Amino acid sequence: MIRLGRIMRNNGSFTDFFDKSSETLGPICQIKLGPFAHMVVITDYLEIENLLLRRHQSLDRSSYTVNLFKGILPKALLTLKTDEIWRHHRKLLSTTMTPKFLRTVNPNITRSAEELVKLWQEKSKLANGRSFEAELDLESATMDAICGIALGENWNIISGYTSKLSHCTEYSSRDAVIEDGKRNEIRFRLEAPELAESVWYIFNTVPLQNPFPSLTHYFISLSPTYKKHIKRIENFLKQKIREARSKASRFSPNVAEDMANNTLDLVIAKELGNDHKISDEEIKQELFQYLLAGTETSSTTLAWWCKYMTNNPSVQRKLRDHLQDKIPDYKEQGLNYDNLSPSNVPYLEAVVHETLRIARTAGGYLRDTKEDVIILGHYIPKGTTLAFPTSTGYQDNDSSYSNENQQDNRDRRVGYWQSGTGHLFDPERWLDEEGQFNATAGPSLPFSLGQRRCFGKNLALLELRVFIAHLNLAFFFAPIPQNLNGFERFDKIISHPKDCFIRPVSWDSEEVNL
């Protein structure tokens, strides 16, 4: 048994630890979390796949995950165990991930991506060749997109930023909005609308790395500041639910469903013809989960993508050429669900999946055993927490556990990565000999697998395709000073880059060909 504290001191974040664990501790190891708690970490990809796809009946949502989030989402998919209530929620929400619905809501993502392009054009002009931080802008833009998808309207966060900057020049309003950073970067001090600030505040109250998350959150929730923010969000969502119910009541269930152009309207419409109703409180929490999960994960993945582009100019150029070749009339036609499909733009899909693979935005996934199980020859008792790290995407056929005794005697659904390439950013690894995207080219677990995999996978992939395509066609991410270009990470609920500085320039800039 290995003590987690010692490992974390040596390796930093959970994600850093998972990156090292397979090398030093083997394909399965036990980690001591405290005096009475431990977890079993499994880094063997085939065994993870076997457990999540074929033996999922023996596993369920981790109690740690439930305790971590139940303070803010006690009745949402994220914290529900796999029971009839969970299945009912999942069934009601399943239509929101279908191609038909994603085509309907795609314009919300497009508008947000276009607004972000305008903001960065304005910032680049004011920065005058200096770098600026990108992650908050990405978080704001994805929140705009998710609000439009979930509620049919967004909070215009990005357009508000742009409007404020448009009144600035190099000389006026500098003290109020623009300031010099400590590392010679430009910093922009911009305020988001109150609702957005409240969502971020509540999200940041989740008591990570705390042995008693439920109790800790209870005391946090007693503060006047917490009560102010949660009341603001609840009042807003209650009003939106009342409006949606009133609108849907004027139509039959089928008509209401056909007319729905956002998640809330669709859930209300589906409920009209369903014998098992869902309460306003449950709908409110599922919507809040949408705002949290759909914003934080996508924006952080995009932040990592910006860093990879800055350090891989040849990938930027190839992606732009690819998009222009496959969607030659994108300026008139726009970028949509169909022309951004993996079959039409396979290199874009390769860039998306390579970013997800190497960024490891989610450091890992936790499950609890519902019964005694045998894993890789080891007896694991009921109630044990299992950790499946996403760093399995680094595995290649030189990995220490990729030997005849462990790997080669089992059927492989996915391939290996080329020897020694697991840690390299290389979208080409996802393309077959014909240049088509191959989702099973090698191991990667950005959304987990099986029954409890990430519910929003299809929406997340669409968000990434739309944002990456728009940003790539608009900007070349020019080199930045080395003191701003580190790849250290820190873990909150997900794994963020410590620095995410960019210097976007137009494609007709002289720097593009340097």
pLDDT for 170-199, tens place per residue?
545 555 688 889 999 999 999 999 999 999
**Is there a contact between 63 and 76 (Cβ–Cβ < 8 Å)?**
no
| Residue where the block lists tokens 């098992």 | 276
- Please state the residue numbers annotated as binding site for heme: 454
Is pLDDT above 60 for 165? yes
- The answer for 209, left when phi > 0, alpha when psi is -120 to 50, beta otherwise, is left
Q: In the prediction, which pLDDT does 277 show?
A: 77
Count other Cβ atoms within 10 Å, centred on residue 165.
19
| Residue where the block lists tokens 């305008």 | 118
- Please state the residue numbers annotated as binding site: 454
Domains (range + CATH), the chain? 2-71+363-420 (3.30.43.20), 96-360+448-513 (1.10.630.10)
| Residue where the block lists tokens 């500041």 | 225
Amino acid present at 348: L
**Which one-letter DSSP state was computed for residue 37?**
-
- How far CA 505 is from CA of 127, 130, 357, 464, 472, in Å, comes to 11, 11, 27, 21, 11
- Retrieve residue 206's tokens: 């989740």
- Retrieve residue 10's tokens: 């040596």
pLDDT, tens only, 56-76: 999 999 988 898 888 899 989
Strands (E), 259-407: 364-369, 373-375, 378-380, 385-389
pLDDT grade for 399, boundaries at 50, 70 and 90: low
Q: In the prediction, which pLDDT does 7 show?
A: 45
Alpha helices in 62-203 (DSSP H): 63-69, 84-94, 99-127, 135-151, 157-166, 174-177, 194-203
pLDDT grade for 316, boundaries at 50, 70 and 90: very high
**Is there a contact between 262 and 150 (Cβ–Cβ < 8 Å)?**
yes
Is pLDDT above 50 for 14? yes
Is pLDDT above 80 for 404? no
pLDDT grade for 298, boundaries at 50, 70 and 90: very high
**Which one-letter DSSP state was computed for residue 437?**
B
Report the length, in residues, of the chain. 514
- Retrieve residue 189's tokens: 């001090």
**Is there a contact between 456 and 362 (Cβ–Cβ < 8 Å)?**
no
Q: In the prediction, which pLDDT does 453 show?
A: 87
Q: What is the rounded CA–CA span in Å between residue 390 and residue 358?
A: 9
- DSSP assignment of 136-151: HHHHHHHHHHHHHHHH
Does the predicted TM-score (pTM) go above 0.85?
A: yes
* Across 14-23, 205-214, 452-461, least confident range: 14-23
Of 46, 208, 97, 43, the C-alpha closest to 454 is: 97
Of 498, 491, 497, the C-alpha closest to 206 is: 491
3-class SS shares of the chain: helix, strand, coil, % to 5: 55, 10, 35
Q: What is the rounded CA–CA span in Å between residue 439 and residue 450?
A: 16
Count other Cβ atoms within 10 Å, centred on residue 249.
10
Give the chain's mean pLDDT.
88
Q: Give the percent of the chain with pLDDT over 70.
A: 90
pLDDT grade for 29, boundaries at 50, 70 and 90: confident
Q: Give the percent of the chain with pLDDT over 90.
A: 61
Beta bridge partners of 373: 380
- Retrieve residue 309's tokens: 């582009």
Q: In the prediction, which pLDDT does 395 show?
A: 73
**Is there a contact between 497 and 488 (Cβ–Cβ < 8 Å)?**
yes
